[in-house]
Chains A and B, each alone.
Chain A
Amino acid sequence: MMRHLRFIPFLALALLATSCADQRSHAQAVYMLVDTSGTYSQELDKAQRIVSYLLGTLKSGDSLAVARVKSRSFSEKDIIAKMTLGKDPMQVNNQKRAFADKIGTFKADLKKGSAYTDITGGIIQASEFLNETGAGQKTILIFSDMQEELDYKTVRDFPIDLKGIRIIALNVTKLTTDNVDPRRYMGRLEWWEKRARAAGATDWRVVNDLEHLERIFKGRG
């Protein structure tokens, strides 16, 4: 009997050894860019719904940040709210509640949209944030019509690095000019996809049907 019990410390040690084996991060980090330029700022209700969905989906250890896209978006100041969920489920719920409140306040305070739309700046800021989190799954959600408009001083025409990051464009609305010539819309999306893939993004997807938000994370590993 005692001979059998001798194996227990070895088993415990083996368990301890395996517990240190997996250094891979299983957490996921999501950075959501919300376009607040021009007329698109009226779509904020939908953005809030997406944030609610994200809050319901994310688990302990996951990170979420929501930032606005305005005339120049490469700045920490544009981050509306950010958090990394803790381990305690009750604490997690409180964090989520506080996050939702911040988004609500932002929506209520937003009076008018910005003149220009710096999506690239927002994406660079997002990739910096996501890489800092060290999460295993990194996703940038772009809630915008994907029409970038920069002032003459802003420089964004240089290669960007999005290695290991998925890009998902949400609610890409059609502009009046797109209705005149749909090729403009197709071309815009194609251009962004090409740019994202050239930057090393692992995936590019467009989700316009907000009734099926589960498609955002469909097929994630």
Chain B
Amino acid sequence: MDSWQALLIWPGNPVLSVLVLFVMAIPILYGARQAMHSLLHALFRAISNPLRLGSHWLFKTAEELRLRNKMVLLSHGREEISQGIVKEFDRVTSLVQRDLHGYPALQRKLMDEITRIEEDFQKCGEVPPPPPEWTKAVAAIAKIKPSGDGLVERILEDISDSIDDVYEKVVAEYRESSKKRHNILKGFMPFWRSVDLSLNRVDKNLNGLKESAAKIDEQMEKYTQINANTEKAEHTLTSSATTLFVISLLVMLIAAGGAFVNFWLIERPMEAMVGGSEYIYGNLQASYLAAMVIIFFETLMGLFLMESLGYTHLFPLNGVNNSMRRWMVWISLTILLILAGVEVALAVMRDMIVAADVALKQELAGGAAVAAAANVGWALNIPKAAQMILGFTLPFALAFVAIPLEYLIHSGRTVFGALLVLGIRGLGFATRFLSSIVRQVGKGTEYLYDAVIFLPLIIERVLVNRGLGTAGASGGRAAFPKRATSGEHVL
């Protein structure tokens, strides 16, 4: 306060003192205008330039990261599709080996059946010989009108009888022949059925092949798009990875819930095994760690099991042959079974401990209400059975975590990569925005400075306009310069 008072010309009138001081300072400020402008310019540039540089670097890094992500994504997609194509080809190969392998035999069978059908068909076509030629003569004689001659009538009667005999014989022969042909046709049926079945099988196999070919075509189309590095392929793969990530995360959360239940199922009996009063670090009890180790071990065995079965590809097991794989399957499955058995035992133990605790608390409370439970003894076994079932099934359920885990890891790379790019770009934008603000503030400060010394600047402009202040104008910066547009950086 005292130093402020000392600055005043008339301490009793501070307003007037400040005004006089201001008027006195104006020529000095006008004289220092160019230097002050340079100083302010340099000062704000010193802040805005590094920010711009940082922003530029961030955008460049984001772009590089995006390209790298794209490369990884496409490479991963290419690998996945290659695997899909190989799998489809394997399917086609096995289909061809299994079904088309028997095609020569099937063809021979079909040919045999067709030949037989043809032969039988020809047999069906064989008609009995027509009635003898004399029947026509007899028919002509039969047309003769009765004349009353006894001899003729007798001859005619004989002829009629003979014709009747012949007719009956012919009809019988015809019937016999028809019967034979019908029997032959009846004998066709199994062959027709067999031929129909064989052709259906062929049709089914060919349809399967057609489907596989369509799938291969589809995969090949994707593969071509990936190879061409198209935006569509990138977007498809990113979107597919995001969906997969969310689904895998959801499944993992459900699995985590299962692991949590499993943990509380075995923690209590573990307390009895490793000691409830033992602590590993801070408030982490030894029993907690022991229970967690069992759960992690189960998950690990599940991981090995899935890996050995070929459902997941988290580890590079290319060097492991099939026999070793089989061994790994059996070993991990056996350990998993043992652990499931251990959990069942722990579940029983937990039930016993809880029952003992309840009994003790009842005893301490006065020893009543123990007998009431005896009537529903079977019902009391339900929680125990439920715990045992949970103890046995949860390790196997946890084993399947390997599948979503693999998808989570693979899709996580894409999702986090994309998020990182987004984050870096956001940071780059913020830095650039800040740089722009600093620059504008710098300019504003320069204008404010000019506004303070507006009076000498107006005088300078008047003099310049009259052409008298040429020397002064050429020596310094012009008052109220036009706003520079070229080379200015605006957000």
A residues whose Cβ falls under 8 Å from a Cβ of B: 1, 4, 18-19, 21-22, 24, 26-27, 52, 55-56, 59-62, 85, 87-90, 93, 96-97, 100
The answer to whether B280 touches A19, judged by C-beta atoms less than 8 angstroms apart, is yes
Separation of A208 and B280 alpha carbons in the complex (Å): 37
Q: CB-CB < 8 A to B373: which residues of A?
A: none
The answer to whether B353 touches A90, judged by C-beta atoms less than 8 angstroms apart, is yes
- State which residues 311-366 of B face A: CB under 8 Å: 315-317, 319-320, 352-353, 356-357, 359-361, 363-365
The answer to whether A1 touches B356, judged by C-beta atoms less than 8 angstroms apart, is no
The answer to whether B353 touches A61, judged by C-beta atoms less than 8 angstroms apart, is no
Q: CB-CB < 8 A to B365: which residues of A?
A: 52
Separation of A134 and B383 alpha carbons in the complex (Å): 39
Beta-carbon nearest neighbor of B272 in chain A:
A89
Beta-carbon nearest neighbor of B277 in chain A:
A61
Separation of A19 and B316 alpha carbons in the complex (Å): 33
Distance from B299 Cβ to chain A, minimum over Cβ atoms (Å): 15
The answer to whether B364 touches A55, judged by C-beta atoms less than 8 angstroms apart, is yes
- State which residues 96-127 of B face A: CB under 8 Å: none
Beta-carbon nearest neighbor of A55 in chain B:
B364
Query: Is B276 in contact with chain A by the CB < 8 A criterion?
Result: yes
The answer to whether B315 touches A87, judged by C-beta atoms less than 8 angstroms apart, is no
In the A-B complex, the 4 residue pairs with the smallest Cβ-Cβ separation, listed nearest first, are A61-B277, A60-B276, A87-B275, A52-B364
Q: CB-CB < 8 A to A97: which residues of B?
A: 360, 363
Q: CB-CB < 8 A to A61: which residues of B?
A: 275-278
The answer to whether A26 touches B353, judged by C-beta atoms less than 8 angstroms apart, is no
Q: CB-CB < 8 A to A93: which residues of B?
A: 356-357, 359-360
Distance from A60 Cβ to chain B, minimum over Cβ atoms (Å): 4
Query: Is B282 in contact with chain A by the CB < 8 A criterion?
Result: yes
Separation of A2 and B315 alpha carbons in the complex (Å): 11
The answer to whether A87 touches B316, judged by C-beta atoms less than 8 angstroms apart, is no
Q: CB-CB < 8 A to A21: which residues of B?
A: 280-281
Apart from A22-B282, A22-B284, A97-B363, 4 more pairs, CB < 8 Å: A27-B277, A52-B365, A89-B272, A100-B364
A1 contacts which of B283, B320, B363 (Cβ < 8 Å)?
Answer: B320
Distance from A28 Cβ to chain B, minimum over Cβ atoms (Å): 10
Number of interface residues of B (CB under 8 A): 30
Query: Is B446 in contact with chain A by the CB < 8 A criterion?
Result: no
Q: CB-CB < 8 A to B278: which residues of A?
A: 61
Q: CB-CB < 8 A to A62: which residues of B?
A: 277
A22 contacts which of B281, B317, B353, B363 (Cβ < 8 Å)?
Answer: B281
Q: CB-CB < 8 A to B234: which residues of A?
A: none
Render B274-318 as a binary contact track against A, CB cut-off 8 A, 1 for contact.
Answer: 011111111111100000000000000000000000000001110
Distance from A84 Cβ to chain B, minimum over Cβ atoms (Å): 9
Separation of A97 and B360 alpha carbons in the complex (Å): 7
Given contacts A1-B320, A26-B283, whether A90 and B356 have CB atoms under 8 Å apart is yes
Query: Is B88 in contact with chain A by the CB < 8 A criterion?
Result: no
Query: Is B406 in contact with chain A by the CB < 8 A criterion?
Result: no
Query: Is B460 in contact with chain A by the CB < 8 A criterion?
Result: no
Separation of A18 and B281 alpha carbons in the complex (Å): 7
Given contacts A1-B315, A89-B353, A89-B356, whether A26 and B277 have CB atoms under 8 Å apart is yes
The answer to whether A100 touches B277, judged by C-beta atoms less than 8 angstroms apart, is no
Most buried by B among A22, A59, A62, A96: A22
Q: CB-CB < 8 A to B356: which residues of A?
A: 89-90, 93
A60 contacts which of B271, B282, B352, B364 (Cβ < 8 Å)?
Answer: B271
Q: CB-CB < 8 A to A85: which residues of B?
A: 277
Q: CB-CB < 8 A to B352: which residues of A?
A: 90
Distance from B229 Cβ to chain A, minimum over Cβ atoms (Å): 34
Given contacts A4-B315, A93-B356, whether A59 and B281 have CB atoms under 8 Å apart is no
Beta-carbon nearest neighbor of A27 in chain B:
B277
Render B357-384 as a binary contact track against A, CB cut-off 8 A, 1 for contact.
Answer: 1011101110000000000000000000
Distance from A153 Cβ to chain B, minimum over Cβ atoms (Å): 40
The answer to whether A1 touches B316, judged by C-beta atoms less than 8 angstroms apart, is yes
Q: CB-CB < 8 A to A24: which residues of B?
A: 279
The answer to whether A88 touches B279, judged by C-beta atoms less than 8 angstroms apart, is no
Separation of A61 and B364 alpha carbons in the complex (Å): 20
